Structure 1
């Protein structure tokens, strides 16, 4: 009897020791929602599919369809005026009803109608536009407008996943996906080819829509696809968008002034390859501020006022963002001499 009792106690002890070791080696078994037979099962849990549905739900309501009508008078006597209808997209940027879109969507429009995702139609007023960036600001009167998520410090990187939301070919709101293949610039001197480049498809009607990241935050305003003079080249996957920070800057200037005012120097500039960073002046436009101030072709501009320059892009941005009539001190290197020349900036010619 005693031996049998010892055998039972010894067996129970071994069982307890085994259970303690198992719990120490496999912490998951200590969780309340884990049971041994589930842990020992070889069945793998199915993974949730990758989806951008949340991003689209956040940004989609703020992307609107834009329909414009242009009444063109026929010069031929007796002919009826012709009504031209265009379509595009826009992005609600502010709760007060400000909408960003492309200028070519609303150019020469006599009537602008904005259709929200929920189906509501609103008449829009053109506040102003900027030809160089192909942006326009509209305003609608309504309450409780959905505003697209924005981060003022957002910058894009090559390889970022982006989604283009718009109204291509009047099919209703659709989404295309791609990646950023080249980053854009944020200064007012930005040219078209310095915009965000990506391969998310932009078709007719997508123009002016939102380019968002996988969190639903605005990355840029969709512009158009790449075109060139040679129609025999089959170019695919090259589309452009205005970077968010540049688009926001343009919008604020248009809201404040009704247009974008840029300073102008009147030179061709290339990055300096010398020890002095900045830019080398190339061709100088006749009767320009640069010529009147005494700047010469070959001068290396390395500093403007207290801003030490790194490249030509930075220097031209300083000029573009200067108010017309302001005087900027250009510090240059000419024939191994350092000079300072005051330059009176004027508005860029129209």
Structure 2
């Protein structure tokens, strides 16, 4: 009996030792993971930062300095030379720089300064006053190129960063959100739908990059909204959307200009009496394709070239993309009568 008791006690002791060794081995094996977990729990949270986006995009945003002559005063009629400030974006590795047309319009010389310290002269490849875009060419190697995604589309509420050289203070980053997309928002020209945002653009930052939180180009910074008296309105700034800017840039590089079709009508909101989508004609330009085709004010266009037209924006885009000289059938309502006419699209003159 005493021998059996000793045997049980020894067996119990051995099992306890074995279990202790197993637990110790597990603790030793798990120690690194426990330490990492504790470190994660005690480590402070990292603050939100857009440094990655800036590091990707900022090197491709350049400073533009151009010289222009302006008329002298009544007392001194000799023209004066003034320095214009602006910004631009390196779009490819062969040296095409996209900027705002008003930055380089009617200037005698253009200098481009990169963020790595290099400077060079630039030539204008072409400009488009409708979208206020221009393409320059510089001759340098190893150029930083702005990140681009041709499928990228912006949404209201997206965080954006404006990169440029305001007031020649050096490259500056301002942050905001997109307030509106796809509308003209009081801008006179209906061929240039703009992004509206509240990222600040001061003089010298026009033509710079508007990028998203990943550093991808979403627009080309254009202007601050002006009130009725010409004063700047805080918090309302505009940029040309990337998709439109890329399309215009491609045409300027390949053809030297952007050719747009012209119909010659002024348009307004759909009247409440009309349930069918379409375009209300509020005026017709003299000697325009529309006038020659017999269109009049108060006509309501519902179809162009067999395509139903849902809005003025849609109709103007269709006309704009039509090659001059093309004949299009236009279906419209006049009073209570539905009519059809044929218009010959001409070239839009600036």
Q: If the length of structure 1 is used for normalisation, what is the TM-score?
A: 0.86
Of 145, 161, 164, the residue aligned with 1:163 is 161
Partner of 2:91: 93
Please, which moves more after superposition, 42-51 or 155-164?
42-51
Provide the C-alpha distance between the structure 2 equivalents of 1:293 and 1:39, rounded to a whole number of angstroms: 77
Distance 1:128 1:31, change over 3 A: farther
CA change 1:330–1:15 in 2 (3 A) is farther
Counterpart-to-counterpart distance in 1, 2:79 and 2:39: 76
Specify whether residues 313 and 43 from structure 1 end up closer, same or farther in structure 2 by C-alpha distance, changes over 3 A only.
closer
Aligned-partner SS, 2:55: helix
8 A contact 1:184–1:242 mirrored in 2: no
Q: Which moved more, 1:105-114 or 1:249-258?
A: 249-258
Change (3 A) 1:301 1:83: same
Contact kept in structure 1, 2:224 and 2:233, CA below 8 Å: no
Inter-CA distance 13–211: structure 2 relative to 1 (3 Å threshold): same
User: Against the structure 1 CA distance between its residues 234 and 91, is the aligned structure 2 distance closer, same or farther, given a 3 Å change threshold?
Assistant: closer
SS of the equivalent of 2:54 reads helix
Picking from 25, 49, 52, the partner of 1:51 is: 49
Q: Aligned equivalents of 1:259 and 1:307: distance in 2?
A: 27
Residue aligning to 2:106: 108
Counterpart residue number, 1:252:
250
Alpha-carbon offset, residue 5 of structure 1: 3.4
Partner in structure 2 of residue 279 of structure 1: 279
Q: Give the conservation status (yes or no) of the 8 Å contact 1:99–1:137.
A: yes
- 5+ unaligned residues in a row in structure 2: which ranges? 1-5
Write the mapping of 1:182-193 to structure 2, written as runs, cut at 5 A: 182-184=180-182, 191=190
Q: Distance in 2 between matches of 1:218 and 1:38?
A: 38
Classify 1:39/1:320 alpha carbon distance in 2 versus 1 (closer, same or farther; 3 Å).
closer
How far is the alpha carbon of 1:83 from its aligned partner? 2.0
Cross-structure match for 1:5: 10
Q: Give, in angstroms, the shift of residue 18 of structure 1.
A: 9.1
- 1:6 deviates by 5.2
The equivalences for 1:1-350 within 5 A come to: 1-5=6-10, 7-8=12-13, 33-35=32-34, 39=37, 43-72=41-70, 74=72, 82-184=80-182, 191=190, 194-230=193-229, 235-272=233-270, 274-350=274-350
Cα 1:43/1:133, change in 2 over 3 Å: closer
**Map of 2:3 onto structure 1:** none
1:117 Cα offset (Å): 1.1
* Aligned counterparts of 2:178 and 2:21: Cα–Cα separation in 1: 59
* Alpha-carbon contact 1:185-1:246 (below 8 Å) kept: no
- Mapped partners of 2:31, 2:42: distance in 1: 20
Q: Could you tell me how far 1:216 is from its partner in structure 2?
A: 0.9
Q: CA deviation at 1:39?
A: 4.9
Contact 2:130–2:191 (Cα < 8 Å) also in 1: yes
Post-superposition offset of 1:119: 1.1
Q: 1:257 to 1:44 in 2, by over 3 A?
A: same
Structure 1 unaligned regions, length at least 5: 24-28
Distance of aligned partners of 1:334 and 1:148 in 2 relative to their CA distance in 1, 3 Å threshold: same
> Aligned partners of 1:9 and 1:308: how far apart in 2?
89
Whether contact under 8 Å (1:133, 1:191) holds in the other structure is no
Number of corresponding residues: 340
Instruction: Give me the whole-angstrom Cα distance separating, in 2, the residues matched to 1:176 and 1:40.
Output: 37
Aligned mates of 2:336, 2:349 — CA distance in 1? 33
Residues in 2 aligned to 1:81 and 1:331: alpha-carbon distance in whole angstroms: 53
